[in-house]
Every structure is written in C-alpha cells, then in structure tokens.
Chain A
C-alpha cells in the first residue's frame, strides 16, 4: 500500500459526505483475545482508520485513562512483536486503515529497519510516535517511507506557522492536530482558540487534518466542524468499553456530516 492509503481512506469518508472516524484502542485491551474482537467490531461499525496503541511503561503524552489501559496491556505481556504477528494473521479481514500509535523506545528496541519491514508485512499504513518531534524524525521517516508507511505528524495549538510549514514539507497520510494543551483524556470543552489554530493548520497542509485528544461527543466539534476532516477518540472509547463491554455502538454518533 502506498503512503497515500490513509489519505485515501479519509477522502473516501469525505466523499460519503462525512468525517473520517478514527478510534484508538491500546493493543491487548482489555484482554489479548477480546482486543481483536473489538477491532473487528470497530471495523464493522465503519471505522475508517483504527489506531492501535503500542503500550509503553512511561507514556508522558497520555492522561490517566490511556495510561492505565496501557499498563493493563503490559501486565498481560503485550509486545510490539505480538501486535505485528497477530495483525499479519488478521489484516486481510480488516477494511480500515491501520496506524500504530506509541512511543519511541519500544519501536527503537524492536529495530527501525525490522519494524518497517514487519509493519509493512502486517499491513500497517502509518505510525504516530508521541515523543518524536520533527527534528528527530528524518531517519525513521525515510526508513518507513521505503516500505510505504507514513509517519503521521502531530501538531497543536502552540505550533507556529514556521513549524507548520516545516511539517508540511514532510507530512504524509494525514496530520494529527492535538486539540488541547495537555495530555490525552476527555475534556468538557475544547479551547476557544482551536478554530483559528485549525484554520491556520488547514492552510498549511495539503493532506487531511484529523482532530484528537479530549473528544467525547460530536457536539464538541461545533465551530470547527468545517475545518476538520477526521476525528480521533481514545479515552472516551476506553471508558465506553469499560462501562458497556462493547465498542461498535460508540462510533454511531460520530458518523457525522462534514
């Protein structure tokens, strides 16, 4: 698959007149077996791209819900190797694009060239690395690109025009816009300055823009709905899963017009 596979997925959703829906779930949550059933359910419910969390012991960009979920996965012995092996077996049955989201050290210890090969084999379309800023990313981006895997950039409310331009030169797949100044986790309201920051980002990138961190209800998107091409939900999905044991129905309200 080419690096544009994720872009295609989002464009297909937009062609259907809606935003791309991108749920996030840590690999192996709540149990190793149940996790893959939940991925199938998310896929069947219409997820355009599924973000599979690669658990890390020290997730500095995550809030308490994702952190606890990740630690639960680690206690069950989830490793990057297990994720890729399982995904290789199951990928053909999953329609959604697949992105691995994690932190640098587990990827680094796996070995970046091996990661690129095995991830490509497993049908991974992109990587999001929460603690890898632009300045440190060239080497890994190039290795991933050779295997057709996109390194998704994260930008936020404090990204200057200069940094947005620097990102735009290298961005592939889609751009992940962090909606709040903080860690992952549900917020009651999104910041007032978000709309202008999104418009600025929208003007800087030619690839789609996805909004994540803090989202729990489509109502939060009021005022920014015309600027965003996709939405990412993590902590709210985990809480829904904890409360109901299900994931598919969580996506229903997010199948919203753009």
Chain B
C-alpha cells in the first residue's frame, strides 16, 4: 500500500507550505512516539489523568428489552467526558517532545476543543481553538469550559460556520504559525500522518474493549457499533477487531432530518470520492466538486467528509455503514437515559439508535458492543429544544 494511503484513500493533499511540518510530524511519530519512554509516559497519563481503562458495561435492562446482549464501551467516563481526550493527551505529549509551545485545534461539538484545552493546560502549552460560529452558539457550555481551561476560542464566521470551516481556519493558522505550533487535529481525517496518528491514539478503545469482553465472556462480540462523523471513535474502536473477521463492524452516520435532498452528514452512505482537508476520502459534494453543507442534530457528526480509513474499510466490505436520523438518535438518547441511567452524547445516540432498531431481530446469544463515545451533558439544550419542537 502506498505510504499514507488506505487502499485508494488518504494521501497528503496539502499546500506545499504545510509539507515541512507534516514531514516533521511523520518523523516524530516514527522516532518519538514509537519509543518506549514516550509510550510509558503516555500510558501513565492515560491511566492516572484520563482514567483508563474505561468500563465495559453490560446493559442488563436494555438487553432484556431488545432481546440480545447490549454492552457499552464507556468513553463517556474518560476525563472531560469523551474519547477525544485519548487523542489530545497523546498529541500534546508528542508536540511537547517536538519542542512545540502552542496547540491549535478545531472543534465541532466542543468536546475536542475541551480535550485539547485540557491537555494543553496539563502540559503547559498555549491553546487556540477555532469553532464554527454556529457551533459556538450550539455548544456555549463547552466554550466556557475551554476558556476556563485557559484556551482562546476563535469563532469562525466563514462558509457554513460549522466544523469544516473551523478545520479550514485551523489549517490556515498552522500554515502561518508552524514553527512553534502543533495542529492538534481532532478526528482521523486530514493529510497523512493525521489519520494514522489519531487512529493509533484512539486504538486504545478497541484494545481495551476486546480484552474486557473476552475476560468477561470468554468469546468475541458478534457486532461492534460506533457513530461516524470524522470517525475517530469508530476507527479507534474498530482497529483491534479488524483482524477478527467474525466480528461485524458497523459505523453509524447521521442522516439529519432524513428527508430526501436534505443536507445531512452521511458521507459514506451517500458521498462520492474526492479531496477535502488534505485527504482523498468520500465527501458530500456537487458533481463539480464543491463541498455541500452538512447537518446533524449532533454537532460532532456535522462534517461533509470522513476519515479515509473508513472509506477503505467500506470499499473492502470489512465494515458496514448505515444511517440514523435526528429523531431516531433523540429516541436513543431518551431510551438509554431511562433504561440505564446514562445520558449519552447525541453523537453516540446515533450508534445506540441503530442497535435499538435491531430489537427483536437477533437471537439472545448475540452480543453487541456500542462505543459510547461521550456523555450527553453538553447536549442538554439541543435535546430540550428538540423535545419542545416535537411536542409543540
């Protein structure tokens, strides 16, 4: 396979001015991150700061309701409330070893921004976070958290004022400030080596889930399910299971309000191959190659591209990608809250909704693990408004 590619997807389609920092990062991954000392330091932080391993929880109540085994990999229990912290602690540590003093990041739901601000505070790095102006409003609570952690939040007013525009702004910042700055990219997207780097840092999710499930049951799960926006929690969850072909891998994308022609975020289900943000992947785009606006109730899924490794897994037939609407995700949110006492992030609610939709169709012997990528506290206002709208 060509370096930096996953089959036909991936690569490095970045302005020439970004090639030196991308090559520097690739070299640091190979030299510093692969070293024993770095890995020891990272493990120490993941254990005592992030709170790993996160629990693998068997949902007894939900399992009874749906007729098969439902398990949750509880990334919502990681520090800051989402899987994003695995990636940012790793990248911030790498940046520090590279001699960088600043982190720049983009954020959609705000979870990656919070996680980057947290890692920056921990490791003594300056932090600037770009966030679409629309998301600044949708996720005001997380903006406050970032600012309390010492980060500067810069609203992005251009384009659709969401995650993709925040990525454009962060890349522009990195072009100009590359000497002292590391771009702490929040998903398994972007030019090589980011999709690989983020996958490596998130693969801890799947490694733990595999070991925990085997220890509890003595077997492999039948299905592993995760939500996919950029796809970092999903690729982290899937990676350890990819070689185990008897385990079905299912990524769940956001279909917005589900109406035909509606802008949504189901890139793998409805997109076509193209280049965005430095990588060849599947995109929501016009036939002329202009990027279409996306939409999801879950800000973290509101992205018109997807990590190139997912596009590859789909092309191979190794993973299946399905869609869930805003309403279905909301129902999944409510059902987990009531059945198990857990408020899931709206992103994770998409994965849950898919699994709940299988109710009564699978034998009792089947076990499904869902990656609960984050907690739902950040989404309470969105949920409240959606419920008011539904009832009104």
A61-80 vs B, CB cutoff 8 Å, 1 = contact: the mask equals: 10110010001001000011
Complex CA–CA separation, A60 to B191 (angstroms)? 13
| B378 on the A face (CB < 8 A) | no
Once the chains bind, are B14 and A57 in contact (CB under 8 Å)? no
Please, which residues of chain B bring their CB within 8 A of the CB of A85? none
| A150 on the B face (CB < 8 A) | no
- Given known pairs A105-B276, A136-B13, the reply for A64 and B289 (CB within 8 Å) is no
Complex CA–CA separation, A134 to B22 (angstroms)? 13
Once the chains bind, are A154 and B176 in contact (CB under 8 Å)? no
Residues facing A in B1-41 (CB within 8 A) are 11-20
User: Which of A18-26, A36-44, A157-165, A218-226 forms contacts with chain B?
Assistant: A157-165
| A113 on the B face (CB < 8 A) | no
Closest Cβ–Cβ distance, residue A56 to chain B (whole Å): 7
Please, which residues of chain A bring their CB within 8 A of the CB of B164? 58
Partner of B287, one of A109, A131, A156, A160: A109
Please, which residues of chain A bring their CB within 8 A of the CB of B177? 181
Closest-by-CB residue of B relative to A167 is B16
Please, which residues of chain A bring their CB within 8 A of the CB of B165? 58
Once the chains bind, are B289 and A61 in contact (CB under 8 Å)? no
Please, which residues of chain B bring their CB within 8 A of the CB of A110? 288-289
By CB atoms of chain A within 10 A, which of B171, B176, B289 has the most? Answer: B289
Please, which residues of chain B bring their CB within 8 A of the CB of A134? 16, 19
Complex CA–CA separation, A109 to B19 (angstroms)? 24
Complex CA–CA separation, A19 to B391 (angstroms)? 69
B104-131 vs A, CB cutoff 8 Å, 1 = contact: the mask equals: 0000000000000000000000000000
Once the chains bind, are B159 and A104 in contact (CB under 8 Å)? no
Complex CA–CA separation, A25 to B291 (angstroms)? 21
Complex CA–CA separation, A166 to B309 (angstroms)? 29
- Given known pairs A58-B168, A58-B291, A106-B290, the reply for A163 and B17 (CB within 8 Å) is no
Closest Cβ–Cβ distance, residue A65 to chain B (whole Å): 12
Please, which residues of chain A bring their CB within 8 A of the CB of B172? 60-61, 63, 182-183
Closest-by-CB residue of B relative to A59 is B168
- Given known pairs A110-B289, A133-B13, A136-B13, the reply for A60 and B159 (CB within 8 Å) is no
Please, which residues of chain B bring their CB within 8 A of the CB of A178? 16-17
Once the chains bind, are B175 and A131 in contact (CB under 8 Å)? no
Residues facing A in B146-195 (CB within 8 A) are 158-159, 164-165, 168, 171-172, 175-178
| B258 on the A face (CB < 8 A) | no
| B285 on the A face (CB < 8 A) | yes
Complex CA–CA separation, A67 to B171 (angstroms)? 14
Closest Cβ–Cβ distance, residue A51 to chain B (whole Å): 16
Complex CA–CA separation, A107 to B274 (angstroms)? 10
- Given known pairs A56-B290, A67-B158, A136-B11, the reply for A108 and B274 (CB within 8 Å) is yes
Once the chains bind, are A109 and B289 in contact (CB under 8 Å)? yes
Once the chains bind, are A135 and B176 in contact (CB under 8 Å)? no
- Given known pairs A57-B159, A61-B175, A131-B278, the reply for A155 and B16 (CB within 8 Å) is yes
Once the chains bind, are A158 and B17 in contact (CB under 8 Å)? yes
Closest Cβ–Cβ distance, residue B40 to chain A (whole Å): 33
- Given known pairs A57-B159, A136-B12, A155-B16, the reply for A106 and B288 (CB within 8 Å) is yes
Please, which residues of chain A bring their CB within 8 A of the CB of B178? 158, 181
Complex CA–CA separation, A159 to B20 (angstroms)? 7
Once the chains bind, are A104 and B13 in contact (CB under 8 Å)? yes
Complex CA–CA separation, A130 to B19 (angstroms)? 12
Please, which residues of chain A bring their CB within 8 A of the CB of B297? none
Complex CA–CA separation, A159 to B13 (angstroms)? 16
Once the chains bind, are A60 and B275 in contact (CB under 8 Å)? no
| B207 on the A face (CB < 8 A) | no
Closest Cβ–Cβ distance, residue A182 to chain B (whole Å): 4
Complex CA–CA separation, A58 to B284 (angstroms)? 13
- Given known pairs A131-B13, A135-B12, the reply for A109 and B176 (CB within 8 Å) is no
Complex CA–CA separation, A178 to B19 (angstroms)? 14
Other contacts beyond A58-B159, A58-B164, A108-B274: 4, CB < 8 A: A58-B168, A107-B289, A154-B15, A178-B17
Q: 21 pairs across A/B with beta carbons < 8 Å?
A: A56-B290, A57-B159, A60-B168, A60-B277, A61-B17, A64-B158, A80-B288, A105-B285, A105-B289, A109-B274, A109-B289, A110-B289, A131-B13, A133-B12, A133-B13, A133-B16, A153-B16, A154-B16, A155-B16, A163-B20, A181-B175
List the interface of chain A (C-beta within 8 A of B): 56-61, 63-64, 67, 71, 74, 79-81, 103-110, 130-136, 153-160, 163, 178, 180-183
Nearest 7 pairs of A and B residues by beta carbon: A109-B289, A182-B176, A106-B289, A105-B289, A57-B290, A104-B275, A61-B15
